[in-house]
Amino acid sequence: MLEVRDLTVLYDQAPAVVQASLNLPTGQVLAVLGPSGCGKSTLLRAVAGLEPPASGTVSWDGRDLSGVPTHKRGFALMFQDGQLFNHLTVARNIAYPLRIRRRPRSAQRVAELLALVGLDGFADRLPATLSGGERQRVALARSLAADPRLLLLDEPLSALDAGLRERLAADLRVIVRAAGTTALFVTHDHEEAFAVADRIAVMRAGRIVQHGDLDAVWRAPVDAETALFLGYSRVLEGQAAARVWAAGGSSRRSAHDTPGSPSRTSGTIPPGEVAVRRSALRLDPTGPLTGRVISARVTPLQVRVVVSIDGVGEIDAVAPLDQHPGVGETVRLAADHTRMAVIAAALGPGSL
Ligand code: ADP
Ligand code: MG
């Protein structure tokens, strides 16, 4: 397994990565999620041995890798633009890492890899004849060719358009799983992180601010900024948080709660800060909240509504497509606790 301990990387005294710690069990996929410039690529390069740490360690299965050069770490790197050799066919691009390692039976391995990434029949094509998504699949196959013990992916989908990115994110997960490779994946896109990874590390200004299983991080972001970066649409505090949280307490879902589980649906704990998804509030004639419609807009899946609720203010909500509330109309709303998160830092000790 990969272990990064208190890693700091400086560029001319300026810290790009600050005391970052994370671990990645063998066979899992970890996404490092953070905004542009927060130090993701630097972290990845330090793990690969391309940037020397100012302090801290990178180790694999307990062995400290400082002093082990990049090509001896057994890691593979893949970038946003797959950096294929344009004069070589797809098959030769994929076979390249095998050739430089003088591995036998590379033709068979290339065929396996082409099948793995869904490009059977592409062996003799030149990169210039491929779509962006196909090029990234070839780059992925090439990265996997030499059976790296760790695959390092630096925003591998960022150069693709939205629809393709979504499909390839799902494929990437399937491919990396099928290959059985451990992977560290950096991205600024939370949807990509959720589509690909088992674990997530949220990075900000060079620091890892939260690290854990995907759903644990999603259910309890450490602070408001992290919640917004993870894709929650708003963070409520004080009375607004308390009102919306309490409104979830009477939702039908609370009947399914495990007895004795934390009273997250009881509405009794003062929540401090609560992160809400757009769909946490939905129009429901039996809901406990009353609001006035500020705007309503039809989207392919639902009607997106902005409502003004006493004691909460203006907030997003959703309605089914067969309801299109008019501006100014008074509506009732229900809240769904499964689409909210209590901000961990706002809770007192022992309250979770
Ligand atoms: P990210 O990948 O999250 O966008 P980077 O790791 O590329 O972030 O950059 C982190 C910080 O380090 C940025 O402020 C960037 O300007 C700086 N940086 C990156 N590479 C270099 C370099 N080679 N020399 C000096 N500063 C750098
Ligand atoms: Mg980067």
> What pLDDT, in 10s, does the model give residues 78-122?
888 778 999 999 999 999 988 888 877 788 999 999 998 889 999
pLDDT of res. 161: 82
Q: Which atom of ligand 1 is nearest to the CA of 155?
A: 2
Q: Tell whether the model's pLDDT for residue 256 goes beyond 70.
A: no
* Top mutation candidate among 7, 41, 42 for ligand 1, by most atoms within 8 Å of CB: 42
Please report which ligand is nearest the Cα atom of 37: 1
Protein residue with its CA nearest to atom 21 in ligand 1:
11
Q: Nearest-CA neighbor of 82 among 182, 191, 157?
A: 157
**Mean pLDDT, rounded, for 209-218:** 93
Among protein residues, the one whose CA lies closest to atom 13 of ligand 1: 37
pLDDT surpasses 80 at 143: yes
Cα of 261 vs its chain's centroid, Å: 28
pLDDT of residue 264: 46
Tokens of 26: 């063998």
Beta bridge partners of 92: none
Is residue 258 predicted with pLDDT exceeding 80?
A: no
Low-confidence winner among 39-48, 79-88, 137-146 (lowest mean pLDDT): 79-88
Give the residue among 271, 226, 227 at the shortest CA–CA distance from 245: 271
Ligand 1 pocket, 38 CB below 6 A? yes
| Res 350: pLDDT | 44
Supply 238's token pair.
């004080």
Phi and psi at residue 169, to the nearest 5°: -65, -45
pLDDT, position 251: 41
170 pLDDT exceeds 80?
yes
> φ and ψ at 158, to 5 degrees?
-65, -25
Ligand 1 in contact with 39 (CB < 6 A)? yes
Instruction: Give the phi and the psi of residue 112 in degrees, each rounded to 5.
Output: -60, -45
- Among candidates 152, 216, 181, 186, which has minimal Cα distance to 26? 181
Decide whether any atom of ligand 1 lies within 6 Å of the 287 Cβ.
no
The pLDDT of residue 351: 42
For ligand 1, whether the C-beta of 36 sits within 6 Å is yes
Which ligand 1 atom is the nearest neighbour of the CA of 38? 3
Answer yes or no: are the C-beta atoms of 327 and 345 closer than 8 Å: no
- Tell me the percentage of the chain whose pLDDT exceeds 70: 91
Q: Which residues surround ligand 2, an ion (CB under 5 A)?
A: 41
Rg (CA), the chain: 24
pLDDT at 183: 95
79 CA distance to ligand 1 centroid (A)? 15
User: What is residue 271's predicted lDDT score, i.e. its pLDDT?
Assistant: 64
Q: How confident is the model at residue 345 (pLDDT cuts 50, 70, 90)?
A: low
